[in-house]
Structure 1
Amino acid sequence: MTSKFHYFADSGAPVSSLSAKEHFDQLTAKEKLYAHYFSKAAHLGSRIILRQVSPESEAIFDLIRAFYNAVDGDWALLVSRIGLTEEEQTHLIEYFSMFLSNLGNYKSFGDSKFVPRISEEKFAFAAKITPEIAAQFETVKEQIYSTEPASTTLLGFPEKGHVTSYYFGSVTKKEIDAIHDAVGRKILPENTRLSKDADGNLTLLIASHVDNDGAKAAYGENVLPTEFDVPALGDGVKVLVKYGDHARELGLIANSLEKAIEYAENANQTEMLKAYVDSFRNGSLQSHKESQKYWVKDIGPNVETNIGFIETYRDPAGIRGEWEGLIAMVNKERTKKFGELVNGAKKYITKLPWEKEFEKDKFTPPDFTSLEVMTFAGSGIPAGINIPNYDDIRQTVGFKNVSLGNVLSAKSSNEKIPFIRDQDLKVYEDLRNPAFEVQVGIHELLGHGSGKLLAETSDGVFNFDNNNPPISPIDSKPVTTYYKPGQTWGSVFGAIAGSYEECRAECVAMYLTVDKELLQIFGHTEDADDVIFVSYLQMARAGLVALEFWDPVTTKWGQPHVQARFSILKAFLEYGDKSFVKLNYTKDDFSDLEIELDRSKILTHGHPAIKEYLQKLHVYKSSADVANGTQLYNQTTSVSKELARFRDIVIQKKLPRRQFVQGNTFLNQDGSVEYREYEESSVGLIRSFVDREV
C-alpha cells in the first residue's frame, strides 16, 4: 500500500503572476473588447474541464468558491473563529490553490490524484463555518481523500480500475474502439464522451448547446441518427446519440463569442468566430475545423486566440479533447527571433535525418509568435503550442506556433536543483531558461511542423508515388504501409499518439539544438557550447524526474511529455559504449544521485543517439507503421528494474510545480475594459477564480 504522503498536495509551491497588463494596455479600445469577450468565453468552459477530469471535481470547485465567500477573502477567520492552527489553514489554502491550478483533483501534469495535507477531521471542522458548506463537504469528503484502491489515484481506462470522466460506467476499451470505428467517417470524436448504464446501454454524448432536435434542425441529415449499430460489438448492439453535453456552458460561450464578432479586426476573425459559434451551439466539429482554417490565415493579430476541445492527452484512448481557451498579446521583441526561425525553417528541415519523400511537398511558413498570456483556460498552461491538431489542415492549410513568453520567463526558485552536479549547477541555472526557449521554438515549429503522412487521400488517390514508395532510411527498403482513406495519425496510433508525437518533436529539438547558426537566431554565439550542453543536460534531468509520473504497480505513464523525455534519457544511457550519460551515486538510498553528462561526447554520442531514435520515430509515423512504431515506443518507454530503483528518491526530491495567477477583465459602465491583476500568492489565485463568471 502506497503511503498517503505520496498523494499530498504540494506545500510551498512557487506562485507566479502571469502578468500581461503592460501589453493589454497597449491595445486599442476595440481590441480590448475583443480580448474581453474571448477571455470570458474561455473561462466559461472551466466547468467543462472540471467534468472532464473527475466525477467529483465540479463539486469540489463549488466547495472552494463557497469557502471563499464565507470568509469573504479573510482566511485568517479559519484560525480566529473556527480554531484551525495556522499550519492547518495554510494546508487548506494550498489544496484549494493546487486544485484550481489543475482545475481538478488530479494533476494536469501527471494525471495522478492529490489530497489535502490537512486531515479529513480538520477539513470537516473548517467546513462548519456555515451549515451549507458543512453539507457540501459531506457529499465529497470520501472522493477528496480516498486513495484506495491505488488504481483510482490515476486517470485511465475504467476496466483497469482507473478514473475518467470521458467514459462513464463500465465502458471497455473494446467498446471505445468499436464505436470510434463505427462513426469515424461521420463525426470527429474530440467533443464527445461515452456512457454505459447499469443495463449495458451505451450512449455517445456530444457537446453542444442544442439537443438532438436542435442539431437536426441545424444540419438536417448530416448528423448522426439517434441510434446506430456497432457490428463489431455483436448483432443488435446499438449506441444512442445524445446532443447537449455541457449545454449551459456552451450556450454562454457562444453568446460571448457572438459579442466578440462585433470587435473582430478582419474577415478571417469574423468567419472564425461564426464557425466557433456554430460548433459550440450545434455540436459540429466540422465547423470547428472551419474555424481553424480561418485562424491559421489570420496572420499576426495583436490579440491571438484559440478555443475549443483541443488536446487529447488526458483521454486514455487519446482521441477526445479537453476544453482549452487562449487569449494573449504579441510580444513584438521576442517574436522577431521566431520570425527569423520561420524564415530559415525550410533550410533546417532539410537537415533532419530523412529524405524529402517523408517531408511535406510544400512547407507553408506558419505564423510563429511570442505571446504574453492574458488568459489560458485549461487544466495546465504549456510553454508553447503548435496547433491546429487536425492533420489535414496542417498538411494543406498550415498551422501556427506560439511561444508563451511570460510562462517561459517565470522566475525560478533559488533552491538547489536536484540531480545536477555542483560543477554544472551555475551554468545550468544561468542558461536553463534560455536553453528551454530554444528547445520550445524548435520543438513547436520544426518538430510538430515537420513531416508528411503518406496517405491514400481518397479511393485510389495517393499523396505519394504508390508504385515507387519512399525508401526507409531504417532498413533501405521501400515502405509498405500508409494511411487509408479516413484514417488519421491519432486514429491509427491511438493511445500512444500524443506521447509519441511529443517525443518526435523533442528529438527534433535535440537534433537541431547543436546547429550554431540556428542558435545565433536566439542570440547565442559565445555561449553556444554552454547552451548546447545545458539543453542536453536539461533533457537528461527531465527524463530522470519523469519517473515520478510512472506508476510501478500498473506500469502506466501519467503524462505524455515526461514519458517522451524518459525514453530520450534511455537513448542517452544506452547508446554505444554507454559513456555519454551516467547516473552516479555512492549511497544505498540514492540520496546523492547525480547526472554526469560528458559534454565532450555530445556530438559523438548524444547527437547520434538522437538521430537513430528520431529517424525511427519519424518514418514509422509518416508511413502509418503502427506495428513497428508501437513496439519501438513501448520498448523505449519501459522502465527497467535498474531505473525503477530511483523513483523513490525522485519523489522525495521533487520540486512543487509552479502555479500561475491570471488576471481578469471587467466591462465598465462606460463600455471600457478594466484589466485586474491579483496578489502573487495562493490566496490571490483563489480570488482570481472566484471573480470569474463560470
Structure 2
Amino acid sequence: MRKGLTVLAMAIVSLGAPSCIELKQPQEQVQTEEFKWVVDTFDDIKVLQYKVPGFENLSLDQKKLIYYLNQAALSGRDIIFDQNFKYNLPIRRTLEAIYTNYRGDRTTAEWKAFEKYLKKVWFANGIHHHYSSDKFTPEFSEAYFDTLVASVPAEKLPHDFGSAEQLTAIIKPVIFDPALYPVRVNQAAGADLLKSSAMNYYDGVSQREAEAFYARMAKPGDPQPISYGLNSQLVKQNGKLTERVWKTDGMYAPALEKIVYWLEKAAEVASPVQKETIEALISFYNTGDLKEYDRFNILWVQDTASMVDFVNGFTEVYGDPLGYKASWEAMVNFKDMDATRRTEIISANAQWFEDHSPIQEKYRKKEVKGVSAKVINAAILGGDCYPATPIGINLPNADWIRKDYGSKSVTIQNITQAYAESSKGNGFIEEFIFRPEDRERITLYGTIGDNMHTDLHECLGHGSGQLAPGVKGDELKQYGSVLEEARADLFSLYYMADPKMEELGLLPDAEVAKAQYASYISNGMMTQLARVELGKDIEQTHMRNRKMISEWAYELGRRENVIEKVVSDGKTYIVVNDFDKLRTLFGKMLREVQRIKSEGDFVAGRDLVERYGVKVDRKLHEEVLERYGKLGIQPYSGFVNPIYTPVMEGGEIVDIIYEYPKSYTEQMLDYSSRYSFLPSVN
C-alpha cells in the first residue's frame, strides 16, 4: 500500500517504475523458502529466474544506482521489438489486447496455441525466433484470430493504422502468410541480404546501395574510424538514401527520453568517474553523435574500479546481416568479488597469453593495454539481452579503442549458475556422451570448464591480436561476426589445455580441458542441431562458429583419427580420441582465423564459414531431434528479472528491496504496461 508519495516517488510512478513502499519498520530482503529455477516452459523454451546474491550488502547509493540504471534498462524495451521487425509492436500489442480482454473459453486447444504464440513473441522480442530468426508459424487458424480480435473493444487495440479492420488487414497476412518476411536475418550466400531479411535496420534499400553508402563515408587510413551506421535506420526517401538517427529528437525519441531521464538520476548517485561516463552516454543519446559514443566507450572501459556497472546502448551488430547497425541492449550488474579473483589473474597475465599465442608474430599486440575482467552478478537484463541473455560480454567493439584503451570483459556468474542448476539430472550427458570417462569428466568439471572457457573467450580472446595496417575491420562483411566469435573460441580452447592454467592456479588439472573439448566438439558437430528446424541451414552466428570449428577440426584430424564418429546401438556419438593433437589443431585454426581477420581476407573467411559452418547432414539432424525430443528438454532458455522497489521514509529512499515475479506472463504484461513508450509505427 502506497502512502504519502513524495515528488520523487510520484515521478517514479509516472515514468513507469514500480510503486514505492513507505517504511514502517526495518525491512529485510524478501526471499522465497524454496527457490524455483524454472518458472515456465513452452514450445522449445524454458524460462528461468536468477538469484542476485550480494545485493543486500551493497551501499544505499549502490542500490540506488542499480535501481535507476534498472529503470533505464527497461525503458528501451520497445526499441528492440521495432528494430527486429517493423510490425512487431502492433502485433505484440494486438496479441496483448486479446489476452487481457478476451472473455471466451480459455481451455480450448486454439486458445492454448494462441497463448503459446504470444509467449514466443515476448521471448523473441518479435515474431521471428530469437536464435534461428525464422518466422513463427501460428498453430491457430486465421478464422479463430478474427474471432479473438472481434471480441476486443476497439479502443483497446492499436490505433496507428486506423480501424480494427485496417489493423488486421495489415498484420494478419504478416502473421499467417509463410512467404511474407520469412526470416529476420538472412545470411545465405548470393542473396541480397537486406531485401531478403525482415529486420528493420533498412527500408527500401538494397545490399549494394547500403554497402556503397557506408563505403563513401569511410576515411581510408583513419586511425580512429567512426562506426558509421551504428545508431540509425538507413532509408530511401524520394530516391535518396538518408539516415534516421536514433536520438532524443530523432527516431525512437520517446523511449530514449525516458532512458536519459533515468540515466540522469543514476548520475546523481554515481561516483565522479562513473558520473562522467554516464553523462557521455546521455550526450550520445541526445545528439546521436558517434564520436560521443566513442568517448563514452573510452571512459567506460577505463573505469575498472566501480562495484556497480552497466551496459546500455546500441551495441552488437548480429541483427544486421551487413554488420553496420547495432541492436539496443542493456544490463546492470555488480561484481562478485570472490569469483573476480580468477579473472584478475587472467587479466594480469594478458601479455603472456598474447606473446605465446600461435598466431603470426606480426599480428600479436606488442603491448596489451587496458585488459580488465571481472565476474559479475546480473541485476537486470534489458533490450537484446532479455529474456535470452549472453553468459559473457567483451566490450567495446571498436578495434581501435581495444588497441589504444583496452577492453572490459565479464562472465555473468548468476546466469551460468541458473543454467547449471536448472539442467541437473535432465539425462543429456547420458544420452549424447559415449564414453564413461568423458561423462565423468563433464559431470565433475563441466561448470568449471564452461566458466573458464567464457573467461578466456571474453577476457582475452576478443581483445587479442591486431589488424594489419590499412585494414578497417569491416572487410569480412556478413562473415565478420562468425569469424570473430570463432577467433575468441579458438583462443579459449587452445589455452584451456596449456600448463600455464595450472601454474596460475586457474584450473585444478588437465581433466578440465578434456571435459571442455569433449563437450564442445560434440555440441558443434551434433547436439546443437536440436536448435535447428529440420531441413534448415544453420544461420545463427554462434552456432555457425561452433560448427565451423568442430567440423574443420574433424577434417584436419581425420588421418590421425583425432575426432571420431562412433555408432553404437544405432546411435551416433562424437568422440575425441587425441586431446593433445586436438589442441594443436585449435592452434593452427586460430592462426588462420587471426590472419583472415587481420588482413580482411573476405574470400578465405567466406569459404571457411560456408564450407564448415552452414550445411547440415539431414540424417544426423533427424536423429538428434528424435533423441533430444525423447528427453523432453527445451533447447533454449531465457530469464525473468527480479522486481526492485524503493523503500521510502520521510520522502527519501532509504533502501531498495527486490522480489521475484509470480510468472513469466505477469512480467511481460507488466513491462508492456509500464515501459511501452514508442508508437506502433516508427
Quickly name the TM-score band, shorter chain normalised.
0.7 to 0.9
Alignment of 1:578-589 (within 5 A): 579-585=561-567
Q: Match for residue 207 of structure 1?
A: 246
Matched, 1:114 2:146: no
Q: Match for residue 4 of structure 2?
A: none
Partners of 1:187 and 1:573 in 2: CA distance: 37
Distance 1:416 1:116, change over 3 A: farther
Distance 1:656 1:10, change over 3 A: farther
Q: Match for residue 95 of structure 1?
A: 117
CA offsets per residue over residues 629-668 of structure 1, 9 Å max, x none? 444444333537xx34423334453733112011233445
Matched, 1:530 2:511: yes
Q: Match for residue 239 of structure 1?
A: none
Equivalent residue for 2:213, pick from 161, 179, 186: 179
Distance 1:450 1:286, change over 3 A: same
Q: Match for residue 344 of structure 1?
A: 349
SS for the counterpart of 2:459 is helix
**1:334 Cα deviation (Å)?**
0.9
Q: Match for residue 4 of structure 1?
A: none
Q: Match for residue 22 of structure 2?
A: none
Length-normalised TM-score, structure 2 = 0.81
The one-letter amino acid paired with 1:363 is V
Distance 1:85 1:126, change over 3 A: farther
Q: Match for residue 49 of structure 2?
A: 17
Q: Match for residue 422 of structure 2?
A: 412
CA offsets per residue over residues 354-373 of structure 1, 9 Å max, x none? 35432222112422111111
Matched, 1:386 2:415: no
Q: Indicate if the aligned counterparts of 2:370 and 2:405 stay in contact, CA closer than 8 A.
A: no
Q: Match for residue 507 of structure 1?
A: 490
The one-letter amino acid paired with 2:426 is E
**1:208 Cα deviation (Å)?**
1.3
CA offsets per residue over residues 570-602 of structure 1, 9 Å max, x none? 123212316222333468xxx72322222xx01
CA offsets per residue over residues 533-552 of structure 1, 9 Å max, x none? 22112211331244467789
Q: Match for residue 172 of structure 2?
A: 141
Equivalent residue for 1:660, pick from 639, 644, 648: 639
Partners of 1:145 and 1:583 in 2: CA distance: 41
Q: Match for residue 462 of structure 2?
A: 448
Between stretches 373-382 and 281-290, larger displacement belongs to 373-382
Distance 1:31 1:137, change over 3 A: farther
Q: Match for residue 263 of structure 1?
A: 269
Partners of 2:243 and 2:78 in 1: CA distance: 20
Partners of 1:687 and 1:151 in 2: CA distance: 27
The one-letter amino acid paired with 2:48 is S
Equivalent residue for 2:522, pick from 541, 563, 583: 541
Distance 1:569 1:247, change over 3 A: same
Equivalent residue for 1:43, pick from 71, 74, 84: 74
Equivalent residue for 1:397, pick from 401, 405, 429: 405
Equivalent residue for 1:637, pick from 613, 616, 627: 613
Distance 1:625 1:304, change over 3 A: same
SS for the counterpart of 2:305 is coil
| Larger RCO (alpha carbons 8 Å, 6+ apart) | 2
Distance 1:631 1:595, change over 3 A: closer
Distance 1:159 1:406, change over 3 A: closer
**1:254 Cα deviation (Å)?**
1.6
CA offsets per residue over residues 158-198 of structure 1, 9 Å max, x none? 665331211122x211101011112234772110111235x
Q: Indicate if the aligned counterparts of 2:529 and 2:624 stay in contact, CA closer than 8 A.
A: yes
SS for the counterpart of 1:274 is helix
Equivalent residue for 1:610, pick from 578, 586, 592: 586
Q: Match for residue 678 of structure 1?
A: 660
Q: Match for residue 190 of structure 1?
A: 230
Distance 1:46 1:393, change over 3 A: same
Q: Match for residue 6 of structure 1?
A: none
Q: Match for residue 573 of structure 1?
A: 554
Q: Indicate if the aligned counterparts of 1:96 and 1:686 stay in contact, CA closer than 8 A.
A: no
Q: Match for residue 310 of structure 1?
A: 315
Q: Match for residue 369 of structure 1?
A: 374
Distance 1:427 1:146, change over 3 A: farther
**1:143 Cα deviation (Å)?**
2.3
> Unpaired segments of 5 or more residues in structure 1?
1-8, 71-77, 211-243, 456-481
Partners of 1:446 and 1:693 in 2: CA distance: 36
Q: Indicate if the aligned counterparts of 1:345 and 1:365 stay in contact, CA closer than 8 A.
A: no
SS for the counterpart of 2:106 is coil
Partners of 2:589 and 2:480 in 1: CA distance: 16
Matched, 1:254 2:231: no
Q: Indicate if the aligned counterparts of 1:105 and 1:113 stay in contact, CA closer than 8 A.
A: yes
Partners of 1:153 and 1:332 in 2: CA distance: 39
Partners of 1:680 and 1:515 in 2: CA distance: 46
The one-letter amino acid paired with 1:103 is N
Between stretches 399-408 and 54-63, larger displacement belongs to 54-63
CA offsets per residue over residues 368-393 of structure 1, 9 Å max, x none? 11111111213331010000011111
Distance 1:303 1:688, change over 3 A: farther
SS for the counterpart of 1:101 is helix
Partners of 1:660 and 1:445 in 2: CA distance: 24
> Unpaired segments of 5 or more residues in structure 2?
1-40, 158-163, 220-225, 677-682
**1:318 Cα deviation (Å)?**
1.0
Distance 1:584 1:345, change over 3 A: same
Q: Match for residue 218 of structure 1?
A: none
Q: Indicate if the aligned counterparts of 1:209 and 1:281 stay in contact, CA closer than 8 A.
A: yes
The one-letter amino acid paired with 2:598 is S
Q: Indicate if the aligned counterparts of 2:138 and 2:176 stay in contact, CA closer than 8 A.
A: yes
CA offsets per residue over residues 667-694 of structure 1, 9 Å max, x none? 4554425443334743354355346423
Distance 1:563 1:91, change over 3 A: same
Between stretches 56-65 and 268-277, larger displacement belongs to 56-65
**1:315 Cα deviation (Å)?**
0.1
The one-letter amino acid paired with 2:203 is F
Q: Indicate if the aligned counterparts of 1:158 and 1:164 stay in contact, CA closer than 8 A.
A: no
**1:406 Cα deviation (Å)?**
1.2
**1:332 Cα deviation (Å)?**
0.9
Distance 1:350 1:87, change over 3 A: farther
**1:65 Cα deviation (Å)?**
4.3
Length-normalised TM-score, structure 1 = 0.79
Partners of 2:58 and 2:114 in 1: CA distance: 39
SS for the counterpart of 2:476 is helix
Distance 1:68 1:23, change over 3 A: farther
Equivalent residue for 1:646, pick from 612, 620, 623: 620
**1:277 Cα deviation (Å)?**
1.0
Partners of 1:95 and 1:69 in 2: CA distance: 15
Q: Match for residue 34 of structure 2?
A: none
SS for the counterpart of 1:16 is strand
Distance 1:66 1:209, change over 3 A: same
How many residue pairs match? The answer is 598
Partners of 1:119 and 1:519 in 2: CA distance: 59
Q: Indicate if the aligned counterparts of 1:371 and 1:404 stay in contact, CA closer than 8 A.
A: yes
CA offsets per residue over residues 307-331 of structure 1, 9 Å max, x none? 1110001101011110011111111
Distance 1:398 1:256, change over 3 A: same
Q: Match for residue 281 of structure 1?
A: 286
